Amino acid sequence: MQRRILEYSGEPFKITDILPSDRSLVWRLTRKRYYQVPILKDSKTVLFETDENSQIIAKYLESRLNLGLFPRTWDGVQKIVWRYIENEVEGLSFRLNDAYYREFVPPDEQLMYLRFKERKFGRGCLNQWFQQQKQLLSELNERILPFEQMLGEHTFLLDEKPRFVDFDLWGMLANFQFSGHYKLPSAHPRLKSWFARMGKAKFNSSRREKLHS
């Protein structure tokens, strides 16, 4: 999600992939305060999330780049929607993707990946998610229905411009499709069109220049 925001902004950036078994760079950059991903380093500023719903990185990018992601008009609504996305949608999307972890996690990292998942979600969780795919897909299909309905009147989820919740949902659904074994349900055609639109969306830089003038 954070990477899509940066791509949308048009600002240059660099991605550093962090292996599950080696978080030493994150630990060092955050001065031993954090070991999860993602983090954001902007010159001497290092940002990371303080809880599951903080959105510190996205809000920093908004203040730094003036992208219009958090307009006051949608303050309360966005908070409700992103909590739904990051609880009801993310929980299913990452389980379905992780069911195929052997296909995208390097062989020498799979043991640590398995250990991490099982310590958090219980022994055999990855095999269970693989076996429960049909049920999990059905649940996900139901949980993303409200977004299909929201797109009936607008180009994006809330209005005619992409807001933070658009990037948040896009990130979860991109992760869901990462393994290559899934596609967005054909029962949600508006959502499929929106996903493609979000993947190509670019910020109007002239608007940023106007804000800074």
Taking a C-beta distance cutoff of 8 angstroms, is the pair 164, 58 a contact?
yes
Q: What integer pLDDT is reported at residue 183 of this predicted model?
A: 95
Give CA–CA dist 196/193, Å, rounded.
Answer: 5
Question: Is pLDDT above 60 for 207?
Answer: no
Give the dihedral sign, CA 184/186/188/194.
Answer: positive
Q: How confident is the model at residue 21 (pLDDT cuts 50, 70, 90)?
A: confident
pLDDT score of 20? 78
Contact (Cβ atoms closer than 8 angstroms) between residue 175 and residue 2:
no
Q: What percent of the chain has pLDDT over 70?
A: 96
Contact predicate 39/26, CB 8 Å: yes
pLDDT at 154: 93
Provide the 3-class DSSP secondary structure of residue 47.
strand
Going 165 to 171 to 176 to 180, the CA torsion angle's sign is positive
Asked whether the beta carbons of 145 and 188 are under 8 A apart, the reply is yes
Residue ranges of the chain assigned to CATH 1.20.1050.10: 73-200
Q: What is the pLDDT of residue 130?
A: 97
131-174: per-residue pLDDT in tens?
Answer: 999 999 999 999 999 999 999 999 999 999 999 999 999 999 99
Instruction: Please give the pLDDT value at position 206.
Output: 56
Q: Which residues on adjacent β-strands are paired with residue 20?
A: none
Any idea which architecture 73-200 has in CATH? Up-down Bundle (1.20)
> In the predicted model, is pLDDT for residue 199 greater than 90?
yes
**Average pLDDT score over the chain:** 92
Q: How many residues does the chain have?
A: 213
Give the contacts of 15 (CB within 8 A, at least 6 positions apart): 3
* Four-point Cα dihedral 109, 111, 113, 115, nearest 10: -150
- Give the residue among 45, 44, 39, 35 at the shortest CA–CA distance from 3: 39
Cβ atoms of 92 and 139 within 8 Å: the answer is yes
**Predicted TM-score (pTM) of this structure:** 0.90
DSSP string covering 165-210: HHHHHHHHHHHHTTTSS----TT-HHHHHHHHHHHH----HHHHHH
Segment 24-83, tens digit of pLDDT: 999 999 999 988 899 999 999 999 999 888 899 999 999 999 999 999 999 999 999 999
